[in-house]
């Protein structure tokens, strides 16, 4: 717990210094548009608050904090979709799956936790759209809803299961994962903005470049190797592997959500502007890194 507190304190100080530097930079370079970075900093403060609660307090408080994160992430995702009245009932059932998913976590039923959304919700959720609602737009609304549940609920809910799977190390593993994920996103963004040249997917997200990915992966892996012994019971080899694994997962998550947003928001500039302020932009990487890191560690280590 002492290492956890010190780590959170260091994160808070670093973010405060970065925020102060940003304020100074914005006053010096008045001709530049820093609106996107400003939103990112605000949401990072929010993320620090959420994961401070999730790591320092009891697992039950952590469950509630992460439950709220999943709910608002799914809500932001649904806000992107072009929907009709007939889709509202589908969304209601999708929201109701969140407390059930977290109930399985609360009682420690791993088997149901791991199959509930990918199997049972996948098979039965379409019924809510079928009964009395016709066939027009069926595939798009159902598949889009299920995509949202897989990413924003199933993927993110793995953060909550860490403390159930390993009460001794769970909170620190979550902190380790979140720190590396957000660090990778930050470095990738800054490098891509200032020195990045080769864009990975310019049509979907011009702020993702190969230079940003390579530098962020190198730095994230180095930080992972230097902090793993303070926060985790992992081996030195997995200190390196964790950094690489999380970096690749972050890259995949950011790209996937970028393409998803691009597809859903074509021609809707109002929603695009509103979405910049949502938490969906900050948890896209976690939706990938959390389940991948969880299952790799669970497979190779007995403490999970």
Across the range 20-33, mean pLDDT stands at 77
- The CA-CA-CA angle for residues 101, 159, 94, to 5°, reads 30
C-alpha distances (whole Å) from 246 to each of 103, 156, 218 are 27, 14, 11
Asked whether 7 and 230 are in contact (CB, 8 A), the reply is yes
Asked whether 154 and 101 are in contact (CB, 8 A), the reply is yes
Give the pLDDT confidence of 197-217 residue by residue, as tens digits. Answer: 888 888 777 788 999 999 999
Q: Higher model confidence: residue 125 or residue 137? A: 125
pTM: 0.86
Q: What is the pLDDT of residue 279?
A: 57
């Amino acid at each position: 717990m002492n290492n956890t507190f010190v780590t959170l304190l260091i994160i808070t100080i670093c973010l405060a210094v970065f925020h102060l530097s940003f304020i100074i930079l914005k006053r010096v370079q008045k001709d530049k548009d820093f609106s996107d970075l400003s939103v990112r900093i605000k949401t990072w403060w929010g993320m620090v608050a959420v994961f401070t609660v999730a790591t320092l307090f009891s697992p039950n408080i952590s469950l509630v904090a992460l439950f709220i994160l999943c709910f608002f992430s799914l809500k932001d995702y649904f806000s992107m979709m072009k929907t009709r009245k007939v889709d509202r009932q589908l969304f209601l059932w999708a929201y109701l799956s969140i407390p059930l998913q977290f109930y399985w976590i609360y009682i420690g039923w791993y088997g149901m936790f791991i199959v509930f959304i990918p199997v049972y919700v996948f098979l039965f959720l379409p019924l809510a759209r079928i009964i009395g609602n016709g066939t027009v737009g069926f595939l798009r609304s159902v598949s889009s809803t299920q995509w949202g549940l897989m990413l924003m609920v199933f993927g993110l809910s793995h953060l909550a299961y860490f403390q159930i799977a390993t009460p001794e190390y769970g909170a620190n593993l979550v902190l380790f994962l979140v720190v590396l994920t957000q660090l990778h996103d930050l470095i990738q963004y800054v490098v891509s903005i200032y020195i990045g040249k080769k864009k990975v997917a310019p049509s979907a997200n011009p702020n993702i470049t190969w230079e940003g990915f390579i530098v962020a992966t190198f730095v994230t892996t180095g930080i992972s190797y230097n902090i793993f012994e303070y926060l985790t019971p992992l081996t030195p080899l997995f200190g390196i592997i964790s950094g690489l694994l999380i970096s690749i997962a972050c890259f995949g998550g950011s790209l996937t959500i970028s393409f998803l947003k691009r597809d859903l928001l074509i021609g809707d500039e109002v929603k695009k502007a509103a979405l910049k302020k949502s938490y969906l932009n900050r948890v896209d990487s976690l939706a990938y890194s959390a389940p991948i890191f969880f299952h790799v560690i669970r497979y190779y280590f007995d403490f999970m």
